[in-house]
Amino acid sequence: MINGNLKATYAADEKIVDNRYKFSFVWGLAVLAAWLPIFANDYVILVACQVGIMVVAVVGLNVLTGYTGLMSLGHAAFVAIGAYGVTLLHHAATALSIPEGIQPFFTIPGAMALAAVIGLIVGLPSLRVKGVYLAVATLSANFIIIFLIELDALAPWTGGKTGLTTVDPSIFGWVLDTQREVFILIAVMAFATVLLVQNLFRTRVGRAFIAIRERDYSAEILGISLLRYKLTSFAISAACCGLAGALMAYFYARVLPEQFELLLSLQLVAALIVGGMGRTMGPVFGVLVIVLSPELLKVILSAIAGDSIEAAQFRAPLQEIIFGLLIIGFIMFEPLGMTQISDRVFRALNRWPFARG
């Protein structure tokens, strides 16, 4: 019975995409992303941009929760820091007379660094608590950061409850002032983030994260510093969410505090559970399900009941019910998520037409 892939060299063993079906799937996604801005309509571009931004954020959460085993319900705060940070840094760069064409090369890393620093601070409780207690601590941090953004004393910088008007990024003179142009940036960043994080777990740092997830006391006995690597995991995770926030600021004309409240954190967690924690493609599959399910539901209900006010009122709570059912269903019947289902499909394809077991 065929039960694996023959790997005769170290190079073959190090490949991320280790069979032709996975290779075709990954390149199919890349071709689809390249095709969308040319031929897709505005609605498809809007949904695709939302998917790309969410993928970057869920990849960040996957670093912390999926690979390091630290639960967080406050990652929306890091997305907010990235969104507000990149906007404020653009204004600062303009005041310093930095050319617009190179400003994103300073503002995006700056927003990610700011989110990483806040992530280090938020991650300090992880040294003493874990599990649900750590989740509550990060949730409290989310509330604190949103409160600070809405604070009247900081309103001259954050805009308070009315939010901030964002800027259109310019890359070497190419102003990204349409959704299609911003989608190209989002798609490139999403692919790069997934690839870089996947390769992170081939390094000593990534393996230390996994050791902490499996048994932190044993990892410490083996010489892994819990202080260093837990805080590093928080910083990397927050930086990825900061990048998602920066992309969100470029995509939307205005950022508002309510965009980054508890609902966003729950959506990130739901996407990770549905997709599969601790797996490379888990965030991708999870985001596709979480983002596309409400859109599919909207299309179905519109076809059945039309675009009436009653249908819209019925659709809103139904979307929340679907989120809950998805999470419960995957926890009960497939706790490893969509990635495990795809693995079974790829294994079956790889064995075909031989062993079927």
Question: What tens digit of pLDDT does each residue of 148-161 get?
Answer: 999 888 888 888 88
pLDDT single digits (tens) 283-296: 999 999 888 887 88
User: Are the CB atoms for 168 and 250 separated by under 8 Å?
Assistant: yes
What distance in Å separates the CA atoms of residue 330 and residue 146, rounded to the nearest whole number?
A: 31
Q: Measuring CA to CA, how many Å separate 153 from each of 48, 147, 150, 166?
A: 37, 11, 9, 21
| Phi-psi group of 332: left, alpha or beta (phi > 0 → left; psi -120 to 50 → alpha; rest → beta) | alpha
Of 201, 237, 230, nearest to 216 by C-alpha is 230
- 126 or 51, higher pLDDT: 51
DSSP state of 128: T
Which pLDDT band holds residue 68 (cuts at 50, 70, 90)? very high
pLDDT of 243 above 70: yes
**Is pLDDT of 186 > 90?**
yes
Residue 90 structure tokens: 């653009």
What's the chain's average pLDDT? 86
Residue 142: which pLDDT band, with cuts at 50, 70 and 90? Answer: very high
pLDDT digits (tens, 9 = 90+) for 3-40: 556 677 777 766 766 667 777 878 888 888 888 888 88
**pTM of the entire predicted model:** 0.89
* Predicted local distance difference test score (pLDDT) of residue 217: 86
What pLDDT does 54 receive? 95
Question: Which pLDDT does position 97 carry in this prediction?
Answer: 85
Mean pLDDT of 235-256: 94
The H or E element containing residue 234 is: helix 226-251
Q: Which of 63, 352, 344 is nearest to 213 (CA)?
A: 63
Query: Band of the pLDDT at 238, cuts 50, 70, 90?
Result: very high
Q: pLDDT at position 23, please?
A: 77
